[in-house]
Amino acid sequence: QVQLQQWGAGLLKPSETLSLTCAVYGGSFSGYYWSWIRQPPGKGLEWVGEINHSGSTNYNPSLKSRVTISIHTSKNQFSLRLNSVTDADTAVYYCARRLASRPWDYWGQGTLVTVSS
Amino acid sequence: QSVLTQPPSVSGAPGQRVTISCTGSSSNIGAGYDVHWYQQLPGTAPKLLIYANTNRPSGVPDRFSGSRSGTSASLAITGLQAEDEADYYCQSYDSTLLRVFGGGTKLTVL
C-alpha cells in the first residue's frame, strides 16, 4: 500500500522560506511524477509544481520564480521550497503522486502552512 | 479566477441525479486534454473519482460517471447518497498554465 507522509514548518513570517518534505512508502519511486498542490483555507486547489525521478521539474508559471522542488531518491523523498512567502501563500499543502499522462492517485495528509507577522 | 469554470454549488435529494459541469477553453479541454475529477470530503485530501474523462478507478461506485465534449466536461452522480456530500473538482492540462483545476463545486444532499 502506497503512503505519502509529509512534514514541515507550519508557521512562517512574511519573507521567510517555506520548506516541506514528503516521504514515499510502499511503492516504486521511479517512473512517477511527484507533485505539490496547495489549497488556501476555504478555497480551491492550485498546482504548485512537480518533479520526476530523474529530477526534471515543471512549475506553476505564477509561482515559478519562487519555487524549487528537489528529489532525494536514496531516501524516497522529495521536497518543496517556496521563497519570500506572503499571506497569500497560507494554505494546506499536499504532496501527491501521478504517472505520466495520468492524474494524482495518492496524496499526502496535507500540511497547513500559515504565514503571519 | 480558475481556468476551468465550475458552478459553486449544486444540490439534490437522496436518490436523485445531479451533474456538475466544467467549462474550459481551446487551450485545455478544447485541445483534447483529458479531464479528471476529484472528490474532497471535509478535512481530507482529494480522492481521484474519474480519470481520463470517463474512467473510474477501482473502488469508485458506478453511480459516478464522467463525460467530455468540446470545451466542457461533466460529472454525473446518480442515486445520490448522503455520503456524496463533498466538494468536487475537475482538473486538466493547459498548454500555457500546465496543470489546472476548476474552482470546485460543493454538493449538498438535501
B31-89 pLDDT tens trace: 999 999 999 999 999 999 999 999 999 999 999 999 999 999 999 999 999 999 999 99
What was the pLDDT predicted at A27?
Answer: 81
pLDDT digits (tens, 9 = 90+) for A45-95: 999 999 998 999 999 999 999 999 999 999 999 999 999 999 999 999 999
Report pLDDT for A37: 98
Dist. CA A113–CA B44, nearest whole Å: 16
C-alpha cell at A40: 488556501
Phi, psi (degrees; rounded to nearest 5) at A88? -65, -15
Cβ contact (<8 Å) for B45 and A103? no
Q: Taking a C-beta distance cutoff of 8 angstroms, is the pair A106, A96 a contact? A: yes
A3, A4, A45: best to mutate for the B interface, most B CBs within 10 A: A45
The shortest CB-CB distance from B101 to any of A46, A94, A107 is to A46
Taking CB atoms and an 8 Å cutoff, what residues of chain A touch B90? none
Rounded CA gap, A20 and A48, in Å?
13
Tell me how far apart the alpha carbons of residues A28 and A31 are, in angstroms, rounded to a whole number.
8
pLDDT in tens, B89-109: 999 999 998 999 999 999 999
Question: What per-residue confidence (pLDDT) applies to A110?
Answer: 97
Q: Nearest Cβ partner of A107 from B34, B46, B89? A: B46
> ∠B81-B84-B87 over CA atoms, to 5°?
155
Local structure of B107: helix, strand or coil? strand
pLDDT of B17 over the 90 cut: yes
Q: Which three cell numbers stand for residue B13?
A: 435529494
Q: How many CB atoms lie within 10 A of CB A93?
A: 23
Instruction: State whether A47 and B103 contact (CB < 8 Å).
Output: no
Q: Do the Cβ atoms of B101 and A44 come within 8 Å?
A: yes
pLDDT at residue B24 in the model: 97
CA distance A33 to A100: 7
For the cut 90, the answer to whether the pLDDT of residue A101 exceeds it is no
The 3-state DSSP class for residue A40 equals coil
Residues of B numbered 57-96 whose beta carbons fall under 8 angstroms of chain A's beta carbons: which are they? 57, 89, 91, 96
